[in-house]
Structure 1
């Protein structure tokens, strides 16, 4: 049965938690900021005010968003450093430390778009998108994770995309950025497990300025407000999961994950034998799913070795 939406205030609050959100002056990031601020969080609004392509900059949007949170009664500060450089990423985290003395939650939401077919994508446009989405994630996660490990607590929410799982035409830079986020998420979850640090990925679908140029006339309601509660949950103390991916699109919430078929074991193979066994190799009647934060790598090797030894 579909769960009806409710306006009941959340019992999961963020009192005294310091939350850094990249790309949070507008769109999804702004919705995340408004939600956690309304629940007691102290917020760093990071946004360099660039165009959709990532070019240019404007300090106005970040300060306007931070002021809006202060008008709500929340504590908030604006930061306009770019996630695209290691220096910018470090400065973003230092803003939280200098202003509020700590960082508890990092939500990496900053993004840009430069569409082109693979045959026409320039290296400049390729790097411009990777620098913000994927390298930008590392640039803020690296200094934030160090602080979280020292404190013995942290929550990281990275922004992936169904475009990173299934991909769309003319988005090689975006697709590679978002699929690459899975490796970073797994690393934070695995290395943070003994230090109270959890990391998960949100795969959001919402109509924001990133949808500029798309025909959205047939879309159902897809406002950022439908995604924000999922991110709020993943960022909260009570979140029990780590190293996972959650889809949020048009009111649907689901878990996404990587899985494998059981496959086929033979002590030796030829090309022709691979071709002859392809149906059995691809048979989905028995699937193996390993959890990254629960020794997934080791379990994968154990089960593979068991087939070889049996």
Structure 2
């Protein structure tokens, strides 16, 4: 007996890397899996391989149940199609993992509209489309779990990723709103920041010693390490866990803080620009956050 016996999971971007590990782990835990992947290369162009089918075949060959899907998360129609495939093939849907992603890195003052929109469409709009498509089924059966992939690029910050950071922090807000809106239907929603070396981040430049050190560290992060936590989070055993932000970094699991006021300033007379400058900024100075990047926070080697 597995912890996901009788359940059906949809995993987007499941043909490679983190998504592949999650799909295989769901199957191992007893779930039937819809393996979604467009099968495109890093530039978004159609490739020769069919990764979704390869993962589904691997699951079926091992005695599990899986079906491949190549719809795009960037359209509502594509999202509805992949959710309907779960219903038509396996009769229900219990877990949605919004893992599909892309990168179009570039410094903000050089970033094009296409580079920004492409990343927002896949990560943020994609997470909305797939989640929204599953919502009526979750509501009717009074159960369901969403797991959305965020990133420390949004939670903390990184150079050259304004599009990616905006999408990933937006996903945190989306996840929390879903958790609030659907808690009455016994539906849960959480966000996970995965630390993993994958094909997607293989495009990170290594033009400087600092960049090379960052990449060398990232290469130690195993994508399959993300899967056990995601499966546990989607299981009935985590029925009390919703609206949270987690991180998984090899054998480490993090619970992230969420924005709350840390200092307040008050005046009975009301504020003017001058009194804000004279009183508020000095009062808050010691608590202002520095311009950290992810690597400034996670400075130790992964374990």
Measure the CA separation in 1 of the matches of 2:88 and 2:120.
28
Measure the CA separation in 1 of the matches of 2:119 and 2:77.
18
What displacement does 1:58 show?
5.3
What SS is found at the alignment partner of 2:81? helix
1:115-157 deviation line (CA, Å, top 9, x unaligned): 1111221111211111110000011010101210111000000
Q: How does 1:272-283 map to 2 (within 5 A)?
A: 272-275=274-277, 276-281=279-284
Measure the CA separation in 2 of the matches of 1:232 and 1:53.
30
1:168 aligns with 2:195: no
**Alignment match of 2:273 (pick from 271, 274, 285):** 271
Mind listing any 5+ residue stretches in structure 2 that lack a counterpart? Answer: 205-211, 288-303
1:112 aligns with 2:102: yes
Q: Which structure is richer in relative contact order (CA contacts within 8 A, separation 6 or more)?
A: 2
Match of 1:192 in 2: 182
Q: How does 1:9-158 map to 2 (within 5 A)?
A: 13-57=3-47, 60-158=50-148
Runs of 4+ off more than 2 Å = 53-59, 213-221, 277-284
Measure the CA separation in 2 of the matches of 1:220 and 1:207.
5
1:254-288 deviation line (CA, Å, top 9, x unaligned): 1112222141222311112222222434665xxxx
Measure the CA separation in 2 of the matches of 1:101 and 1:282.
57
Count, aligned residues: 274
Q: TM-score normalised to the size of structure 2? A: 0.86
Match of 1:229 in 2: 228
**Alignment match of 1:212 (pick from 196, 202, 207):** 202
Q: TM-score normalised to the size of structure 1? A: 0.84
What displacement does 1:171 show?
1.2
Q: Structure 1 106/72 Cα, relative in aligned 2: closer, same or farther at 3 Å? A: same
Mind listing any 5+ residue stretches in structure 1 that lack a counterpart? Answer: 1-10, 285-310
Match of 1:288 in 2: none
Measure the CA separation in 1 of the matches of 2:176 and 2:285.
26
Give the RMSD, CA atoms, in angstroms.
Answer: 1.7
